[in-house]
């Protein structure tokens, strides 16, 4: 296969894969931006819960039952367990608490980035990552290596790598 034929084939695959992945890239971009704010209250709202759950739940299991990560108990007095978000009455099973979290749609968008290998989104993430790697490789076939555009492009590539390394290690 000639270099020109390989170059043309890479261009065609690059073009149509780019159109296909355009929507996925937009969603990944938006979800990535929302992840930047995950440790702040930006884009979050307060949800108030009044629940009646099982009685006499042990302190170490309470966080899991109430779906509160890192539940921190402030005090235990009589049958009342007070924690940062509210309280739980072990004798009645009443739990009253507030949780600050992202709205459902944003939580689902963020889940896209945090999918584990047991999650169906895992396959989308692998496909997307491999597609981005293909974009990197195929972009070098767009221009002849002897052209000035290709040579300038290599400077931009080096600049992108350098900026990433600086931000990663010194940012």
Domain membership of residue 140 as a residue range: 3-39+105-170
Whether 80 and 117 map to the same domain: the answer is no
Q: Do 156 and 117 have their domain in common?
A: yes
Whole-structure pTM over 0.85, yes or no? no
Same domain, 91 and 117: no
- What does the pLDDT look like over 99-154, one tens digit per residue? 998 999 998 888 888 888 999 988 988 998 898 898 888 888 888 889 999 999 99
Q: Same domain for 80 and 159?
A: no
Domain boundary among 57, 73, 101: 101
Which region, left, alpha or beta, applies to residue 67 given φ > 0 means left and ψ of -120 to 50 means alpha? Answer: left
Residues 168, 171: Cα–Cα separation, whole Å? 6
* 21 vs 14: CA distance, rounded Å: 10
Cα 140 → chain centroid: 29
CA atoms of 28 and 110, how far apart (whole Å): 9
């Amino acid at each position: 296969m000639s270099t020109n034929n390989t170059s043309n084939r890479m261009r065609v695959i690059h073009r149509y894969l780019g159109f296909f992945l355009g929507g996925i890239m937009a969603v990944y971009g938006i979800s990535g931006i929302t992840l930047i704010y995950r440790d702040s209250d930006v884009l979050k709202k307060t949800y108030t819960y009044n629940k009646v759950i099982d009685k006499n739940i042990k302190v170490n299991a309470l966080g899991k039952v109430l779906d509160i990560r890192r539940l921190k108990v402030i005090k235990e007095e009589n049958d009342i367990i007070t924690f940062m978000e509210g309280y739980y009455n072990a004798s009645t099973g009443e739990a009253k608490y507030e949780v600050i979290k992202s709205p459902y749609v944003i939580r689902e968008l963020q889940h896209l980035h945090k999918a584990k290998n047991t999650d169906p989104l895992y396959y989308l993430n692998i496909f997307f990552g491999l597609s981005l790697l293909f974009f990197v490789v195929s972009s070098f076939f767009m221009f002849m290596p002897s052209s000035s555009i290709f040579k300038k492009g290599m400077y931009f590539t080096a600049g992108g790598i350098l900026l990433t390394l600086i931000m990663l290690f010194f940012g």
